[in-house]
Amino acid sequence: MTRAGQTLITTADGTRLCIDTLGDANPLVLVPNGGYLVDDLAPLAARRRLAFHDPRSRGKSDAVAGGGILQDVDDMRTVALHVTDAPVDVIAHSFAGLIAVLYAKAWPGGVRRVVLIGPLGPHPDREYPPSLMNRDETFARIMRELGALLPQRAEWPPEEFCKRVWSVLGALYVTNPADAGRIRWGRCDLENERNGLRYFQDVTLPSIRALALTADDLRAVDIPVLVVHGTKDRSAPYGGGREWAMMLPDARLLSIEGGGHAPWIEAPERVLPAIETFLDGAWPDGAERVTRLERDAR
């Protein structure tokens, strides 16, 4: 497996985007907003090439004024054309799942298959039934701790404050507290990432809310889509994964029982092999069609 290293490419408006490439085989897999996932997804690069890229104002890409989810989609096209002129596969985690879906909608011939891992739902403010959200005491405790920490921002050097925030956030994304230290997503040495939450709240999230997606909007995304979602995800409710699987024409849901926002941590023996199987052209065992939001009694 080859790591080609990081490359900066320039968009039409002069913004530089950082791409980190892993592996040297075909086909190509794009991983939008994937700079923090290079190590976690590295096993998938044994038989394919993965191109992780930082959107503008994130990671090592240029910080700019404005942007939003539709700009991220356009930038993903620039990244794809820089790397290949062939159709690509896409793996997207969390809110980047929406980038992947919108990209497949805008360029239907440019994508073969999409994997959405713990995606933010198509309607980010939707309150799902309690059984489809994990608003447990751990969630409440973390929100309290963050609420107490954020007013102290000015008391710490920026990198140190970022590390303190992530020392709290780690437990949000896993279901076993012992795994909290395996969440190494902060990249606190990067100024963009130290400001990442603010950028998401001020720019990205309002642009997502403005979309108001419907099933008719997504009818053009008729490629296979595998949704992998932990049933105890506190960050992106499991109900959102079920909703994507209902709305997209050719989607199936692989539920990770008891899994959180990083389901490959709770179920490594299922998640990465399932993604491999799917990218190789087959539905993995356990992937189901979803016809209703609520689950059957278990």
Arithmetic mean of pLDDT, 243-270? 97
pLDDT above 80: residue 287? yes
C-alpha to C-alpha distance for 60 and 79, rounded to whole angstroms:
14
Q: Give tens-digit pLDDT for 126-175.
A: 999 999 999 999 999 999 999 999 899 999 999 999 999 999 999 999 99
C-alpha to C-alpha distance for 128 and 114, rounded to whole angstroms:
24
pLDDT above 90: residue 212? no
Q: Give tens-digit pLDDT for 7-43.
A: 999 999 999 999 999 998 888 999 999 999 999 999 9
Give residue 2's pLDDT band: very low, low, confident or very high (50, 70, 90). Answer: low
Task: Note the pTM of the prediction, 2 decimals.
Answer: 0.96
C-alpha to C-alpha distance for 86 and 13, rounded to whole angstroms:
24
Give residue 4's pLDDT band: very low, low, confident or very high (50, 70, 90). Answer: low
Do 228 and 115 form a contact (C-beta atoms < 8 A)? yes
pLDDT above 60: residue 298? no
- Residue 6's pLDDT is what? 86
Give residue 289's pLDDT band: very low, low, confident or very high (50, 70, 90). Answer: very high
Among 113, 102, 126, 74, smallest CA distance to 241 is for 126
Give residue 253's pLDDT band: very low, low, confident or very high (50, 70, 90). Answer: very high
Sign of the C-alpha dihedral, residues 129, 214, 72, 204?
negative
Share of the chain above pLDDT 90, in %: 90
Structural domains of the chain in order of their starting residue, each with its CATH number: 3-130+207-279 (3.40.50.1820), 137-202 (no CATH)
Strand order through the sheet with 251-256: 3-10, 16-22, 49-53, 28-32, 88-93, 111-117, 225-230, 251-256
Q: Which residues of 83-97 are buried (b: 16+ CB within 10 A; e: fewer)?
A: bbeebbbbbbbbbbb
- Residue 108's pLDDT is what? 87
- Residue 128's pLDDT is what? 95
Six-digit token string for 145: 């701790």
